[in-house]
Amino acid sequence: MALDPDIAALLHRFGVDGPPPTTPPTVAEMRVGNRQLSLAVAPSPPLTVGSVGDDTLEGVPVRVYRPEAGGTSPAVVFCHGGGFIVGDLDTHDNVCRRMCRDLDAVVVSVGYRLAPEHPFPAGYEDCLAVARHVARDSGKFGGGVLALAGDSAGANLAASVALALRDGGTPVAAQLLAYPATDLLSPREYPSATENATGYLLTTAECENNVRLYLGDNPGAAATFPASPLRADDHRGLAPVVVGVGEHDPLRDQGLAYADLLAAAGVPVRKHMYPGLVHGFLNFDTVVPSVNAAVTEMYADFKALLQAA
């Protein structure tokens, strides 16, 4: 299917629909551009939830979103996307607000350390530390079940945290993985990395550069968990998962491969491939109707898994 026309117009509006620049941007420029795009498409005023507050857990900055309804609610630890290089608590504020509202859940967004200043495994360790804290002190975070969510690089981190919590005996009720980067070792082995190499916001070359910066002096880590959750030795016993990917995304087939691998290991999987959509679509739900429909479906599936836990 062709690129969704509303997304095509959005990419053109921000000048990111053409070929990649001759000179790759610096990390600082990448962060500025990502932040500008994310904040430009966020609704104003922001979606209303019960409360929003910044805090620190285990030395890691977090933003905690609480639903309007009282009583017991699930806690979702959310890891933002950004190629392990960009993104922050603000770039995914609307994503977390909607998740809080639609799920009636406490959402704990993790401001994990970014590469290249803090290469692997710093970001993973931050997300795992926050998830363990929330699990230990669940009474302060809704008192219900624990779930994990993330998009892109954040979905990589959420998936790896889910594996670590399973191995440590910490119950996880469900996972939501939006267009996850699951295999940092061989991204070009997947057809979507060639089909969608350029012209769809995220390029394959950017993916490879992000991985290089993330792994730093330890490129061999890509062959194993926790850098690549797809390459973990055993996926049995993981929490049920919702996986959603866009058709025009170089990471599309990594996400689908991980969903299929989990299903083969006996994990309940709800898998979605959305025609016409690009990488990073969670942030576009208020400006692109087809994205709103996709996000609505993914969050409804996620909520059903939480309610069934």
What's the number of domains the chain is made of? 1
Per-residue pLDDT band at 222 (split at 50, 70, 90): very high
In this predicted structure, the answer to whether residue 187 has a pLDDT above a threshold of 80 is yes
Instruction: Report helix, strand or coil for 157.
Output: helix
Write down the catalytic residue from 38, 73, 109, 152. Answer: 152
Per-residue pLDDT band at 232 (split at 50, 70, 90): very high
Write down the catalytic residue from 133, 279, 285, 290. Answer: 279
CA-based nearest residue to 175, from 85, 262, 82, 274: 262
Question: pLDDT, tens digit, for every residue of 25-45?
Answer: 999 999 999 999 999 999 999
Query: Going edge to edge, which strands form the sheet with 106-110?
Result: 51-57, 60-66, 106-110, 73-79, 143-151, 174-178, 241-248, 269-278
d(CA 292, CA 264): 30
Question: pLDDT, tens digit, for every residue of 54-88?
Answer: 999 999 999 999 999 878 999 999 999 999 999 99
Per-residue pLDDT, 71: 87
Helix 93-103 and helix 289-308, axial crossing angle in degrees, nearest 10: 50
Per-residue pLDDT band at 173 (split at 50, 70, 90): very high
- 3-state DSSP helix/strand/coil % of the chain, to nearest 5: 45, 20, 40
Check if 234 is active-site: no
- Range of the structural domain that residue 186 is part of: 5-308
**CA torsion through residues 278, 150, 283, 302, sign:** positive
**Half-sphere exposure (Cβ direction) of 161: Cα atoms closer than 13 Å:** 36
Q: Which residues contact 101 (CB under 8 A, 6 or more apart)?
A: 47, 48, 49, 67, 68
Whole-structure pTM value: 0.98
Per-residue pLDDT, 65: 98
Q: What is the mean pLDDT of the chain?
A: 96
Q: Which residues contact 280 (CB under 8 A, 6 or more apart)?
A: 81, 151, 152, 179, 201, 202
Per-residue pLDDT, 76: 98
Per-residue pLDDT, 19: 81
- Segment 158-171 mean pLDDT: 98
Residues composing the chain? 309
Report the percent of the chain where pLDDT is more than 70: 100
> What is the 3 state secondary structure string of 33-97?
HHHHHHHHCCCCCCCCCCEEEEEEECCEEEEEEECCCCCCEEEEEEECCCCCCCCCCCCCHHHHH
- Segment 113-140 mean pLDDT: 98
**CA torsion through residues 281, 212, 262, 2, sign:** positive
Per-residue pLDDT band at 23 (split at 50, 70, 90): confident
Per-residue pLDDT, 49: 97
| Chain centroid offset of residue 248 CA | 17
Instruction: Give the other-Cβ count within 10 Å of 189's Cβ.
Output: 12
Check if 272 is active-site: no
Per-residue pLDDT band at 273 (split at 50, 70, 90): very high
Question: pLDDT, tens digit, for every residue of 197-219?
Answer: 999 999 999 999 999 999 999 99
Per-residue pLDDT, 227: 98
Check if 51 is active-site: no
Write down the catalytic residue from 4, 151, 183, 249. Answer: 249
Backbone dihedral angles phi then psi of residue 137, each to the nearest 5 degrees: -120, 45
Per-residue pLDDT, 202: 95
CA-based nearest residue to 270, from 278, 261, 259, 254: 259
CATH of the domain at 68: 3.40.50.1820
- Segment 112-131 mean pLDDT: 98
Per-residue pLDDT band at 230 (split at 50, 70, 90): very high
In this predicted structure, the answer to whether residue 120 has a pLDDT above a threshold of 80 is yes
Per-residue pLDDT, 14: 87
Element (H, E) at 244: strand 241-248
Per-residue pLDDT band at 231 (split at 50, 70, 90): very high
- Segment 137-161 mean pLDDT: 98
Per-residue pLDDT, 250: 98
In this predicted structure, the answer to whether residue 224 has a pLDDT above a threshold of 80 is yes
Per-residue pLDDT, 16: 85
